[in-house]
Structure 1
Amino acid sequence: MRTNYELSDKMTELLNSYNRNSNAFQELIGEGGYMPPNQELLIDAISALSMGKNILLKGPTGAGKTKFAETLSMLFQQPMFSVNCSVDLDAESLLGFKTLANKDDQQVIEFVSGPVINAMQHGTFLYIDEINMAKPETLPLINGVLDYRRTITNPFTNELVSANKGFNVIAAINEGYVGTVPLNEALKNRFVVIEIPYIEGEQLKQLIQENTQLNDEHTIDLFVTLSADLIQAVVQGKIAEDAASIRALLDACDLSVLIPAERAIQRAIVDKLEEDREREFVLNLAATLF
């Protein structure tokens, strides 16, 4: 069994003493960290990473996948190199590129490491965002990085790069969006999958209080209700997932400090939607609540 990390005594104690009614993980994360709706998600992610396994965070847009990855990086005290996937992602974006440089008054060709090579050589986390946005022929370049070998032959230098202790991969995926492609089985099998749902209820209220400038409790409660209604509408297929983005909701909360809440919701949420039917639905919800 491959083990990349030794958990701190505090983390080990909290993991061992955890129970469903415990507030231990609030202490573990501290202020400003991401608290998953289901605390088992955090336990499972910590356990997988401590054993050297890659994790794939799967969930709707704005559910907090990137914040979750940043929190894991903080908990392990590991810096994190990032890759933002798109259809234009290529080997240079992942691994690095060659460039001309001056050395001893002469021009030489140097290799500038990309995020994958940097994370491997420094023994840190690698975060691959929207991994299913990349072209299917691009990601197999790093299959050896993602499995037990933890190595890659750099095509630009022919050097065999082996990951240092501490290296691990966290990826995030939004399924069903325009431009995304299904992950092939060879790639998916290299990850432990963790489903990230929306934050709701008291946790969402706390998130708003700690991460926005809104401090009026009544208005915060209304935004929490709005979020619950939007999530329910997404489940029922009435609106797109974008409408229930927690990130967008936090923007609306901030704006509502300076402009009317209905207009804040329009700017942060409604105007991002493509269909008139969806826009009208969210505006009616906002008008009813605010």
Structure 2
Amino acid sequence: MAAEFLHNDEHIKQDAESILKLGKNLLLKGPTGSGKTRLAEDLASELDQEIFSINCSVDVDIEALLGFKTIEYVEGRQEIVFIDGPVIRAMNAGAILYIDEINMAKPEVLPILNAALDYRRTLTNPLTGETLTAHENFRAIAAINVGYVGTMPMNEALLNRFNVVEIGYVSKESLKAVLMAQSIQKDERIIDTLTEFHQDLVTMTEQGQISREPSSVRSLLDMADLSTMMPLSRACYRSIIDKLDSEQEKKAILNAAELHFGM
């Protein structure tokens, strides 16, 4: 059974689904590891729609979005054919297009995204010259991470095409439910320790002592899983501390870890 998006604010999922049902574009905004991708997958499942994904944090160009030309052999002859990319496939299939870290999109692909997300849902493929109008069930979900080094502001014209749902940090009770449901660690005492530790990480993030990545739910899930095979102290190093370059951040997290489970 696939993991489910869990959050103490039940309106997050309700409002996100309502936005999509109305045929509007949805932007999920929140810290890394807050469950944006999980929510997008849940919404696709709820709406019984296929989902095609793009991650703009990598070097995404027009071909990565729309597709590319290649040579195929048809009845013994060479023919140039066009292989559709995720944007065209989603538009044609009436599927959901999930655009992760859309604020990192390169300027050269913005006209493509703007056209696909416009209410007319029509774009001209510059690689083939063909004009495409999306299936009526086509929907778009995008996501941006907020509050960490390297975050770029979102293009204003693109932002205006979305309705926004912000996903904040989950409550301690909801976090415990997430860990119990999605981690292989089932010892409730350890889960309680991890949730308390996470509360300290969130506080330090909000105070600007550490970046958002160490306080992500994703990192905590990794730590919970690793704790089934090693002490919490080592699991903390492997899943959180050793990822960091800042000695100041490492020291702050070590101090919090020392209070909860010793290092």
User: Above 0.5 in TM-score?
Assistant: yes
> What is the count of residue pairs matched by the alignment?
261
| Paired AA for residue 130 in structure 1 | E
Who is 1:258 aligned against?
229
Counterparts of 1:180 and 1:32 in 2: how far apart (Å)?
28
Q: RMSD of the TM alignment (CA)? A: 1.4
Write the mapping of 1:109-120 to structure 2, written as runs, cut at 5 A: 109-120=80-91
Identical amino acids, percent of aligned pairs = 49
Who is 1:130 aligned against?
101
Counterparts of 1:87 and 1:265 in 2: how far apart (Å)?
28
2:118 to 147, 151, 163: 147
Write the mapping of 1:192-203 to structure 2, written as runs, cut at 5 A: 192-203=163-174
Query: Is 1:134–1:180's contact at 8 Å kept on the other side of the alignment?
Result: no
Write the mapping of 1:95-106 to structure 2, written as runs, cut at 5 A: 95-106=66-77
Is 1:71–2:42 an aligned residue pair? yes
Counterparts of 1:195 and 1:37 in 2: how far apart (Å)?
13
Counterparts of 1:147 and 1:232 in 2: how far apart (Å)?
39
- 1:39-67 residue CA offsets vs partner (Å, 9 max, x unmatched): 11112111110000001111111111111
CA deviation after TM superposition for structure 1 residue 31, in Å: 7.4
Higher relative CO (Cα under 8 Å, sequence separation at least 6) belongs to: 2
| 3-state SS in 1 of match to 2:108 | coil
TM-score, normalised relative to structure 2? 0.95
Query: Is 2:147–2:212's contact at 8 Å kept on the other side of the alignment?
Result: no
Counterparts of 1:263 and 1:200 in 2: how far apart (Å)?
25
Q: Which has the higher mean CA deviation after the structures are superposed, 168-177 or 102-111?
A: 168-177
| Structure 1 pair 40–235 and aligned structure 2 pair: CA distance change class (3 A) | same
Who is 2:140 aligned against?
169
| Structure 1 pair 195–56 and aligned structure 2 pair: CA distance change class (3 A) | same
Is 1:82–2:53 an aligned residue pair? yes
CA deviation after TM superposition for structure 1 residue 176, in Å: 5.0
Who is 1:285 aligned against?
256
CA deviation after TM superposition for structure 1 residue 254, in Å: 0.4
TM-score, normalised relative to structure 1? 0.87
Query: Is 1:37–1:198's contact at 8 Å kept on the other side of the alignment?
Result: no
CA deviation after TM superposition for structure 1 residue 136, in Å: 2.5
Counterparts of 1:53 and 1:176 in 2: how far apart (Å)?
26
Counterparts of 1:74 and 1:131 in 2: how far apart (Å)?
22
Query: Is 2:30–2:146's contact at 8 Å kept on the other side of the alignment?
Result: yes
2:176 to 168, 192, 205: 205
